[in-house]
Amino acid sequence: MPQDRRSVLKQLAAGGAALLTLPLQSASAANAGAKPTTIRIGVAQPGIGNPPVFSGSSAAVAHAKGWVEEEFKADDIKVEWFFFKGAGPAVNEALTNQQLDFAFQGDLPAIVARAAGLKTKLVLATGVRSNIYLAVPPDSPIQSVKDLRGKRVAIFKGTNAQLPINRVLEANGLQERDLRSINLDQATTLAALSTKDIDAAFGNINLLRLRDKNAARIVYSSKGGSPIFTTQSHVLVTEQFAQQYPEATARVVKTFVKAAKWASDEVNRDEVLHLWAKAGTPYEHWREDYDGQPLRVRINPNFDPFLIARYKDSVEQAYRFKLSRARVDVDQWIDQRYLQAALKDLSLENYWPVFQANGKILGA
């Protein structure tokens, strides 16, 4: 890989976890038509527990159930999962160094990497419409987003939360430069808010922990509001792996679609939320976050008009804010062949709702 491209993408991972040294796939074996010996999947979340687990998506369910490993067991193909405390930027560096084949990641870091020349394809949506929250110390005078001007506010930059947070700010007459924004990961954010080293923090469902300990107040949530203020994630594959192993790529995607079907069945709601709770966020918080929302809305593998519009909007935002160096062609980046084949094979073409670009259900 050219050194200049590697240098660019390494900068994207600033503050990320140190990379694991992983073996590269054997190109000669692939050219001979052999199946991969190993499938390496990166997760833009830290793994919690032993064995490690993560949460918030159908990919997390597939991992917890061991379904990807089961799919390839008879072929003696090993499946390895790698978790990154540094989230999307750290995953980018691993992808750049050809240390991963697939990745579960949010929109912004993937856009930044694609704009910098990383050759990937988006093959499946997962973890979409996730809510963001704004928390402040219990005795803070801050009552709303509008009160953040000039305040010390934690934002985990480079992740898929940054752009919807900027949308929330703009909707309230602010921009990120109007704040004293501080780049903190989730764990550091919780600690800093507890000790009042910051005035406020944007984050995810984990901020509810501080609320329940009376260590914070939630003054804003995207829950129940416009879905343009939520975060979006996906599974991507490297172009190299997809070209060398199209059959294995199709089987991975199909397995994730099966997981999405199981996880979006209301009969399994409690089990899904309990599985995610093993990653550290209490079941009660997942239940609150998902209350009043069908599982099929958020555990949806489709790149429907709404999600495509969100990615296109994020591309424009990232370029406008100088977070990416070029505009990404979203239509060329998303490769729906594997997903559509899986949906057809499983007779799931009409199982999930289709949303228009404005977030409303098609035909409603």
Topology, domain 3-129+232-345: D-Maltodextrin-Binding Protein; domain 2 (3.40.190)
Confidence at residue 101, expressed as pLDDT on a 0 to 100 scale: 98
Mean pLDDT (the chain) is 90
The per-residue pLDDT for range 97-128, each reduced to its tens digit, is 999 999 999 999 999 999 999 999 999 999 99
pTM comes to 0.87
Reply yes or no on whether the pLDDT at 81 is more than 90: yes
3-129+232-345 against 133-229: fold identical: yes
Q: Which of 48-52, 140-144, 180-184, 197-201 has the lowest mean pLDDT?
A: 48-52
Reply yes or no on whether the pLDDT at 274 is more than 70: yes
| Vertex 96: Cα angle to 94 and 98 (nearest 5) | 70
Confidence at residue 30, expressed as pLDDT on a 0 to 100 scale: 44
Reply yes or no on whether the pLDDT at 24 is more than 60: no
Reply yes or no on whether the pLDDT at 9 is more than 70: no
Reply yes or no on whether the pLDDT at 17 is more than 60: no
Confidence at residue 26, expressed as pLDDT on a 0 to 100 scale: 44
Q: Would you state the CATH architecture of domain 133-229?
A: 3-Layer(aba) Sandwich (3.40)
Nearest-10 Cα torsion for 122, 337, 295, 204: 0
Confidence at residue 364, expressed as pLDDT on a 0 to 100 scale: 56
285 Cβ contact list (under 8 Å, min separation 6): 205, 208, 209
Confidence at residue 359, expressed as pLDDT on a 0 to 100 scale: 80
Distances (CA, A) of 26 to 31, 37, 40, 81, 187: 9, 8, 13, 19, 37
Residue spans of the domains in the chain: they are 3-129+232-345, 133-229
Q: Which of 2-16, 150-164, 299-313 has the lowest mean pLDDT?
A: 2-16
CA distance 233 to 301: 10
What percentage of the chain has pLDDT greater than the value 70?
Answer: 90
Confidence at residue 228, expressed as pLDDT on a 0 to 100 scale: 92
